[in-house]
């Protein structure tokens, strides 16, 4: 509770006027009146008043303190419940967490066993002993997060975010070969997000965004895989269903020293991600396709609750580009593990 002093000079003058009154009744009435004024102003003014008939010495000045009213607490009362997509991208005032608060970007999971029908050893043949074959079962994990860097850019609703995703394929069960990491992909990105909240029939268009992605496997020479792209994205919701759709444009298509100049022939020019959540269960799908070549991929996921922010997770993948080193290699895989939800 804030405390602020009343004007000291004015208070002292009132007290002196009361103190110099010769008549005790008048003097008492003066102090009573001053006390009532202080009460009306929500102040406390302790003072010693003499009611004797003799002469009274001038009263010492008394500091009167005013008790400032406590400001009312600000209560957020959104018109509608905060949706999952609004929370993830802070799309309305009730969901705002300010800059640098960490959010999930893509799924964060650990597949303790990711069983492929055929691992891709072709890029490594020149580096491995003759006859070497990778294990079909790998430990696979993905870490993905984002944070807001700028909020309300140039007095607009647009926010600037930065994100990072890392996905690794670890031959953890190839102990005789020192359990090497077969592939790791690194993906930093930056995006500008515009909240929309536009009802389109049964769905709500929550946001639109544009962004830039660099993706690389951090290798050199014949193992190098990387590409840069701009993308446009929109997010839609309907109840427990969330859909994001992206289209992208590659920036470095046909360099002579590019080891994956044809990557869009296999990974396409965009993707669609669908998530349905109900009572702690989560069903998800990712679809991408190049309609000219007919190549693409499908990924499906199912998660069920185990503990707070932790779910059991199953993932099925079929198609091209499960990792960058496999961008032109088709395979099917089934993984089991856990998904972290935050």
Task: Dig out the tokens for 174 from the structure.
Answer: 């190839």
Dihedrals φ, ψ of 258, to 5°?
-90, 125
CA separation for the pair 279, 302 (Å, rounded): 13
Strand order in the sheet with 43-44: 3-5, 65-67, 43-44
Residue identified by tokens 């005013």 is 66
Dihedrals φ, ψ of 122, to 5°?
-55, -45
Q: Is 259 annotated as a binding residue?
A: yes
Q: Is 292 annotated as a binding residue?
A: no
216 is catalytic: yes
284 is catalytic: no
Q: Residue 90 CB: number of other CB atoms within 10 A? A: 22
Q: Do 315 and 334 touch, CB atoms closer than 8 A? A: yes
Longest CA–CA separation in the chain, Å: 119
Given the residues 50, 144, 168, 216, select the one marked as catalytic: 216
CA separation for the pair 264, 290 (Å, rounded): 7
Given the residues 50, 144, 214, 238, select the one marked as catalytic: 214
CA separation for the pair 203, 197 (Å, rounded): 10
Residue list for the binding site for Ca(2+)? 178, 224, 259
Catalytic residues: 214, 216
Residue list for the binding site? 178, 224, 259
């Amino acid at each position: 509770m804030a405390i602020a002093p009343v004007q000291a000079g004015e208070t002292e003058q009132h007290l002196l006027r009361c103190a110099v009154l010769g008549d005790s009744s008048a003097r008492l009435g003066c102090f009573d009146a001053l006390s009532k004024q202080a009460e009306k102003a929500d102040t406390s003014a302790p003072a010693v008043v003499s009611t004797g008939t003799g002469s009274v010495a001038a009263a010492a000045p008394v500091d009167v303190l005013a008790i400032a009213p406590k400001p009312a607490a600000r209560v957020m009362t959104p018109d509608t419940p905060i949706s999952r997509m609004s929370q993830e991208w802070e799309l309305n005032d009730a969901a705002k967490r300010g800059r640098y608060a960490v959010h999930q970007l893509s799924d964060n999971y650990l597949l303790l066993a990711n069983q492929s029908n055929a691992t891709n050893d072709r890029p490594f043949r020149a580096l491995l002993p003759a006859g070497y074959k990778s294990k079909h079962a790998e430990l696979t994990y993905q870490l993905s997060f984002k944070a807001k860097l700028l909020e309300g850019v140039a007095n607009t609703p647009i926010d600037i975010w930065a994100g990072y995703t890392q996905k690794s394929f670890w031959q953890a069960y190839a102990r005789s070969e020192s359990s090497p990491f077969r592939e790791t992909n690194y993906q930093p990105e930056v995006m500008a997000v515009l909240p929309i909240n536009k009802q389109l029939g049964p769905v709500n268009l929550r946001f639109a965004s544009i962004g830039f992605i660099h993706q690389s496997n951090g290798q050199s020479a014949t193992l190098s895989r990387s590409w840069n792209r701009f993308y446009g994205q929109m997010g839609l919701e309907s109840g427990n269903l969330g859909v994001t759709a992206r289209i992208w444009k590659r920036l470095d298509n046909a360099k002579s020293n590019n080891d994956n100049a044809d990557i869009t022939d296999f990974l396409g020019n965009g993707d669609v991600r669908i998530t349905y959540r109900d009572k702690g269960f989560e069903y998800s799908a990712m679809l991408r396709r190049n309609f000219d070549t007919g190549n693409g991929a499908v990924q499906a996921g199912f998660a069920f609750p185990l503990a707070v922010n932790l779910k059991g997770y199953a993932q099925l993948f079929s198609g091209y580009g499960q990792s960058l080193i496999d961008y032109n290699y088709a395979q099917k895989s089934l993984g089991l593990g856990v998904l972290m939800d935050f």
